[in-house]
Amino acid sequence: MAAPSSFNDYVQNHTDAFIDRLRTAVAYKSVSGDSTMRQNLIDTGIWLKGELENLGVTVKLHDLGMQDDLQLPYLVLGSIGTDASKKTVLVYGHYDVMPVTMQANDWPDGSDAFILDVKDDKMYGRGSTDDKGPVMGWLNVLEAHQRLQLPLPVNIRFLFEGMEEVGSPGLDEFIVNEVNNGDFFKEVDCVCITDNYWLTTRRPVLTYGVRGIAYFTMDITGAKDDMHSGLYGRMIHEPMTDMVKLLSKLVETTGVITVPDIENQVPPPSDDERESYRLMDYQLSDLWKDTGGRKVELSEDTAELLMGRMRYPSLSIHGIRGTFDTNDGLKTIIPANISARFSLRLVEPLTPDYVIPRVTAFLKAEFAKLNSKNEIEVKYEGGGLPWVGERNHWNYQAADAATQAVWGSSLYPNYVREGGSIPVTLTFSEKLGKNVLLLPMGQSDDGAHSSLEKLDVSNYINGTRVFGEYLYQVANAQT
Amino acid sequence: MAAPSSFNDYVQNHTDAFIDRLRTAVAYKSVSGDSTMRQNLIDTGIWLKGELENLGVTVKLHDLGMQDDLQLPYLVLGSIGTDASKKTVLVYGHYDVMPVTMQANDWPDGSDAFILDVKDDKMYGRGSTDDKGPVMGWLNVLEAHQRLQLPLPVNIRFLFEGMEEVGSPGLDEFIVNEVNNGDFFKEVDCVCITDNYWLTTRRPVLTYGVRGIAYFTMDITGAKDDMHSGLYGRMIHEPMTDMVKLLSKLVETTGVITVPDIENQVPPPSDDERESYRLMDYQLSDLWKDTGGRKVELSEDTAELLMGRMRYPSLSIHGIRGTFDTNDGLKTIIPANISARFSLRLVEPLTPDYVIPRVTAFLKAEFAKLNSKNEIEVKYEGGGLPWVGERNHWNYQAADAATQAVWGSSLYPNYVREGGSIPVTLTFSEKLGKNVLLLPMGQSDDGAHSSLEKLDVSNYINGTRVFGEYLYQVANAQT
């Protein structure tokens, strides 16, 4: 049983209304990384509850309590359907967004990031693709079924959170506690996370893995205060000198991690595996689109590039601080306290527990070789485990069939692993013991975090159709 | 002929009035690095002119014109005495000060940096030691002679500028032009610069050399915008990876510069020269005072330390920008545009012209070895030549005798070279063809630029006496 044609027609014919729904969602300035906007975030959760209830969902706002002096935004927990003869799908998304750093007049309509602007089939606005578009997509599916008086083919549980962009405080604890003591997850048969993107701008993907992460800060401290480089240059040990020497030992320009016993833990790809990456629909020009035309690829072999993203570990140095401010001009200081931040993206079998002592010991040993009288501290800031799901599960087969039904069989989805880290994926997988699928709506160039965020209207509308079709395919699946 | 005892008595007996003079000077918020304070700076020059005129000096305010949209502060050019039978001393100082970054309540009296606070024989306030204290010292000398109706033993020309802390725009051009076409410098026999500090907190010094400087910016550029380290880590060349590898090649943790053909240009010290540094009154504990107690010295041999400061080149990395802001938390970006700043302090025979092509070529060659597809730019930002004066000149002998007359023969001055760079020193030396002396008033711990700036009352009063006595000793000198 596929989705009835009336569903597809309804979605197609209500494009404008669905865009208005997203416009309303985007107008909520639900920036989780800005404590001054916390009330907006709480209001957004309350609004979302009302919208879901209008569409027949039973909603509970779960209070996560306080974080420091601020109330955490609610977990919006929705339930629709209790038919024991149907499967139950857990849908995850989030209603918070990243901060806005762009000026209003950088956006196409000259207004601000919270006013959705539709231009050339693209909807610009903060949260359009990450993650309000996908969340509204689910509401669109519900609306179509309600108005058409179609029964949903499955029961659905919705978990929409408001702190995803700042590490989901309290979410893991809620899940563990609810699994042990509650019943929200009790009937769940499979999980569908709609919070990532295609690998390119043209072909849908299903995502069956994410890399883990281990994030470090390294501090090197010398004199008590910044010193004048004229007076003290070549009298004292300079923390910056030590710092660049240590950082230079972490990773090659080829991307190979040079902290011992990291790279050698990851099995090399088999010929078959390498071939599977080579067969993915990915061109160098796809990467260049993302880099703004700069040809800075590590390899011209797309299989190597994709394995670099998906199945090898990586190490990036994010920055150094404690030096001078932007406005300090040609300052001639010996900075006294330098702090560098770097992180490793992890693939199995690498875990934070495995890499933390090795990274720390290596840096301390290299520092000892420098014979510096400065002081070093290496601190693990946090991280998450890598995850690889079961891509041959009926959950994936349902998503695959749904994707092909909407986008056409020539755009059959590539199965990919995500280079980024989505810790809740692993939590769902481990604590619920159910198959987890990542089913993205947006494209690779949506600019989710750092630039002009957008979602293509076609991805929004077809994505809504994929979500609906997926529910029917899940209902059909032989378990 | 020494200074008459009436002069010394007058200075000693007018300590409070002289402190009030400095208090008035400090109250002028003459911050040259802050364009919003430019009018204060202009007012300070006009006030200084009036003060000098009241003390019998003929003053001209030289208009340096505009810099961008802002009027440059005046050069205050003072002349007193035209007696052809007397020598003529050119005195240099500046009336601008560094910006204030400390909060008002970090200063001892809880008021702001522009209210002089006298506590435990120390005068705290911005500009107290750099350089309003020395400039007021000269006014004190004039006042004593005027009130006591003593003739000055020499003619004096004063050059007080208002942009020293921001590179003295227009000053060199003024000096060159005045030497060629004017008569302000015509009678000058020797130059006395009062704008630096003792090496320690206990012994006066005479300064006969400064290091030069060559300041560089190195930019490495990758993708057009910052990229997500999860999605693109190990897909693209990371500018930070390249940057730390290049910076790690510049200098050893020992302070030895590893850019080729720099260190080997500087002749090693002779045994005699090394011994002269060993005999200087300098202890490891002096350095520890400056480093806030942190024992980060490059050597425990004070001769090596002092040579590191005075007669070897040095290289300091001042900072890296283009990474993340202080408030960005655990950001996981691959920064796209990295800019590093570093400078070399130069001693003879090293010059900016010599080091610029070598530093640039070395970095580009090392970058080529990295096989990175990022782009590099190495830019010379500016600098100055090193200078070593003739320390056996009668100008130094006069200052030496004056110092011992005031501080006592057991505190005979050490002859030192300054690790910092004071480009006007070389300009005076070369363009006027006269001996240049640096005669400091303040101590090593005065915190001229970066911390709680102060000048000891005893240094201010004895310094005033040294300035006066120096004029008599110059008058006596056999030329």
pLDDT (tens digit per residue) in B238-296: 999 999 999 999 999 999 999 999 999 999 999 999 999 999 999 999 999 989 999 99
Q: Is B106 on the interface with A (CB under 8 A)?
A: no
Optimal mutation site among A221, A232, A234, interface B, most CBs of chain B within 10 A = A234
Say whether A240 and B451 touch across the interface (CB within 8 A): no
- The confidence score (pLDDT) of residue B103 equals 61
Chain B positions in Cβ-Cβ contact with residue A240 (cut-off 8 Å): 247, 316-319
- ipTM score for this prediction: 0.90
Q: B233 and A309 in contact by Cβ < 8 A?
A: yes
Residue B220 lies in a domain: yes
Q: Which of A27-41, A416-430, B38-52, B438-452 comes out lowest in average pLDDT? A: B438-452
Q: Are residues A197 and A137 in the same domain?
A: yes
> Chain B partners of A285 at a C-beta cutoff of 8 Å?
none
Which chain A residues are within 8 Å of B205, Cβ to Cβ? none
CA B242 to chain centre: 34
A300 interface with B at CB cutoff 8 Å = no
In this complex, do A294 and B223 lie within 8 Å of one another by their Cβ atoms?
yes
Under 8 Å CB-to-CB from A197, ≥6 apart: which residues? A129, A440, A442, A443, A444, A446, A448
Between CA B459 and CA B446 the distance in angstroms is 11
Closest in A33, A224, A232 to B293, CB measured: A224
Would residue B293 count as lying in a domain?
no
Q: Residue B309 and residue A229: Cβ atoms within 8 Å? A: no
User: CB–CB of B228 and A420 under 8 A?
Assistant: yes
Over the Cα atoms of chain A, what is R_g? 24
pLDDT band at B99; cut points 50, 70, 90 = confident
The residues in A 219-258 lying below 8 A from B, measured between CB atoms, are: 221-238, 240-245, 247-248, 251-255
Distance CA B252, CA B1 (A): 53
Asked whether residue B289 is assigned to any structural domain, the reply reads: no
Question: How far is Cα B204 from Cα A374, in angstroms, rounded to an integer?
Answer: 31
Tell me: do B148 and B189 sit in the same domain. yes
* 137-166 in chain B: CB under 8 A from chain A: none
- Partner residue facing A240 (CB), from B317, B371, B419: B317
Q: Which residues of A touch B227 (CB under 8 A)?
A: 290-291
Query: A428-472, pLDDT tens digit by residue?
Result: 999 999 999 999 999 998 987 766 899 999 999 999 999 999 999
Closest Cβ–Cβ partner in B234, B248, B290 for A245: B248
**What is residue B204's predicted lDDT score, i.e. its pLDDT?**
98
Residue in B308, B318, B449 nearest the CB of A323: B318
| Residue B14 belongs to some domain of the structure | yes
Q: Report the residue of chain B nearest A33, measured CA to CA.
A: B328
A326 pLDDT tier (thresholds 50, 70, 90): very low
Averaged pLDDT, A395-421: 96
Residues in chain B within 8 Å Cβ distance of A311: none
In this prediction, residue B77 has a pLDDT band, given cuts at 50, 70 and 90, of very high
- In tens, the pLDDT along B35-70 reads 889 999 999 999 999 999 999 999 999 999 998 889
The residues in A 427-446 lying below 8 A from B, measured between CB atoms, are: none
Q: Is A19 helix (H, G, I), strand (E, B) or coil?
A: helix
User: Residue B276: what pLDDT?
Assistant: 95
Please indicate, yes or no, whether residues A37 and A106 belong to a single structural domain of this protein. Answer: yes
Residue B128 in contact with residue B22, Cβ under 8 Å? Answer: yes
- The CATH number of residue B50's host domain is 3.40.630.10
Do B223 and A248 lie within an 8 Å CB cutoff?
Answer: no
pLDDT (tens digit per residue) in A38-66 = 999 999 999 999 999 999 999 999 999 99
pLDDT for the residue B325 = 54
Q: What is the mean pLDDT of residues A367-381?
A: 97
Closest CA to A299 of A253, A345, A262: A253
* Domain presence at residue B135: yes
Share of chain B above pLDDT 90, in %: 87
Count the neighbouring beta carbons within 10 Å of the beta carbon of residue B84: 8
For residue A378, give its domain range. 212-266+312-384
Nearest to B323 among A234, A309, A319 (CB): A319
**Alpha-carbon span A216 to B226, nearest angstrom:** 19
Is residue A292 less than 8 Å (CB to CB) from chain B?
A: yes
The CATH number of whichever domain residue B361 belongs to comes to 3.30.70.360
Closest residue in chain B to residue A233, using alpha carbons only: B314
Provide the pLDDT for residue B326: 46
Residues B166 and B242 in one domain: no
Mean pLDDT confidence for B403-409 = 97
Of residues B100 and A403, which shows the higher confidence score? A403
Query: What are the residue ranges of helices labelled H in B78-168?
Result: 133-147
Residue A298 in domain: no
Cα–Cα–Cα angle for A135, A38, A162, rounded to 5 degrees: 30
The dihedral through the CA atoms of B426, B429, B432, B438 has a sign that is positive
pLDDT per residue over B463-478, tens digit each? 999 999 999 999 999 9
Does A123 score more than 90 pLDDT?
A: yes
User: A198 and A237: one domain?
Assistant: no
Interface residue of A296, A309, A314, A324 to substitute, partner B, most B CBs within 10 Å: A296
Cβ–Cβ below 8 Å for A232 and B341: no
| CA A209 remoteness from chain centre | 12
Q: Do residue A200 and residue A224 come from a single domain?
A: no
Cis previous bond, A195, omega within 30: no
Q: Which active-site residues of A does the annotation give?
A: 96, 164
Answer yes or no: do B121 and B229 share one domain: no
- Residues B102 and B112 placed together within one structural domain of the fold: yes
Of B363, B384, B405, which residue constitutes the final position of a domain? B384
Close Cβ partners of B220 (under 8 Å, ≥ 6 residues apart): B239, B242, B243, B246, B337, B338, B374, B375, B376
Q: Do B230 and A381 touch (CB under 8 A)?
A: no
Higher per-residue pLDDT: B111 or A266: A266
Give the DSSP letter of residue A150.
Answer: P
Q: Which amino acid is at B8?
A: N
Measure CB to CB from residue A318 to each of B253, B333, B341 and give the nearest one. Answer: B333
Cβ contact (<8 Å) for A253 and B244?
no
Chain A nearest C-alpha distance from B323 (Å): 5
Given A384, A409, A438, the domain boundary residue is A384
> From the CA of A102, how many Å to the nearest CA of chain B?
13
pLDDT, tens only, A336-347 = 999 999 999 999
Is A10 part of a structural domain of the chain? yes
* pLDDT at residue B451, rounded to an integer: 62
Cβ atoms within 10 Å, residue A254: 15
Residue A95: both structure tokens together: 């209603």
Residues of chain B with C-beta less than 8 angstroms from the C-beta of A330: 215, 341, 381-382
Give a yes or no: residue B292 inside a domain. Answer: no
Task: Sheet with A117-119: list strands edge to edge.
Answer: A117-119, A122-124, A454-456
> b/e per residue, A299-332, with b = 16+ CB within 10 A?
beebbbbbbbbbbbbbbbbbbbbbbbeeebebbb
Same domain as A469, residue A377: no
Catalogue the E-assigned strands of B75-185: 75-80, 88-94, 117-119, 122-124, 155-161
Mean pLDDT over all residues of chain A?
Answer: 94
- Scanning B90-226, the segments in alpha helix (DSSP H) are 133-147, 171-181
Q: Mind giving me the DSSP string for A281-328?
A: S--HHHHHHHTTT---BS-S-HHHHHHHHHTS-EEEEEEEESS--GGG
Same domain, A78 and A199: yes
Total domains in the fold of chain A: 2
- Which of A228, A231, A316 lies closest to B238 in CB terms? A316
pLDDT at A349: 96
Q: How far is B117 from chain A (nearest CA, A)?
A: 23
Residues B394, B472: one domain?
A: yes
**Range with the lowest mean pLDDT among A214-218, B98-102, B353-357, B409-413?**
B98-102
H helices, E strands: number in chain B: 14, 20
Residue A329 in this model has a pLDDT that exceeds 70: no
Residue B449 has pLDDT above 80, yes or no: no
* A451 part of contact set with chain B, CB < 8 Å: yes
Regarding whether A164 and A67 lie in a shared domain, the answer is yes
Question: Which residues of A fall within a CB distance of 8 Å from B369?
Answer: none
Tell whether A343 is within 8 A of chain B (Cβ): yes
| Mean pLDDT of the region A402-420 | 96
How far is the C-alpha of A207 from the C-alpha of A425, rounded, in Å? 11
Q: Which helix (H) or strand (E) holds B8?
A: helix B5-13
Phi/psi region, residue A93 (left: phi>0; alpha: psi -120 to 50; beta: rest), is beta
Q: Which of A384, A407, A436 is the last residue of a domain?
A: A384
Span of A37-46, A89-98, A223-232 with lowest mean pLDDT:
A223-232
